[in-house]
A and B are shown apart, each in its own frame.
Chain A
């Protein structure tokens, strides 16, 4: 089967660093994406890793290790507005993308 596992909830304080992990099992793997979704809003694309290593985009970074079937999203200098759900996702080739169940991030003052 194909699945992506991520923690259901993470809580952190403003200004801190938080890491959201994602482990995957897919029959064909092309890369790992991350999406952010605020309550009542639409998912928005954050990053995509096709190769091993760290990709940095501002306060957000994403990491992939193909040998470990593992990736993570790193959020630095947390702000209250970062409170949202974060989904890891894997395109399966063609037009289908599998989403993880999502991690709800709560940022406290």
Chain B
């Protein structure tokens, strides 16, 4: 299984709602990522989990809260979002991030989030 799955595919939420995005991989990868991507822009790193521990937080606002329940699952909890948070949220995984080693990332199809 070389696939990263994400649910839901689309999400519309109000600024007072709480929702969660889910990501799953069964490739035995030890690093998992959340990216935010705006139209016609590159993916922008938000969080990295390595061996189920938060390794990188790119100064993301606290209204985004990541969680890694186990080595195969990654969640992103959303609360009190703003309209400018509307974007494609991509999950990715990789074997690891050793320096000098190809850190090929496998991306999920993304969740298209609209905040009203």
Residues of chain A having any CB pair with chain B under 8 Å: 28, 30-31, 33, 41-45, 48, 50, 85, 87, 91, 93-97, 99-102, 104
Contact = CB atoms under 8 A, between A and B. Distances in A.
Contacts of B96: 95
B17 interface: no
Interface residues of B, number: 27
Given A43-B90, A45-B106, A100 B100 contact: no
Contacts of A99: 42-43
A31 B97 CA distance: 13
Contacts, number: 67
Contacts of B113: none
**A interface, by DSSP: helix, strand, loop or mixed?**
loop
Interface string B74-98: 0000000000000000100010110
A50 B33 contact: no
Contacts of A48: 102, 104
Given A99-B43, A100-B42, A101-B41, A50 B102 contact: yes
Given A44-B107, A95-B55, A102 B97 contact: no
Task: Identify the 6 closest CB pairs spanning chains A and B, nearest first.
Answer: A95-B97, A99-B42, A93-B99, A42-B107, A91-B103, A48-B102
Contacts of B42: 87, 99-102
Contacts of A94: 55-56, 97, 99
B50 A95 contact: yes
B7 interface: no
Nearest to A93: B99
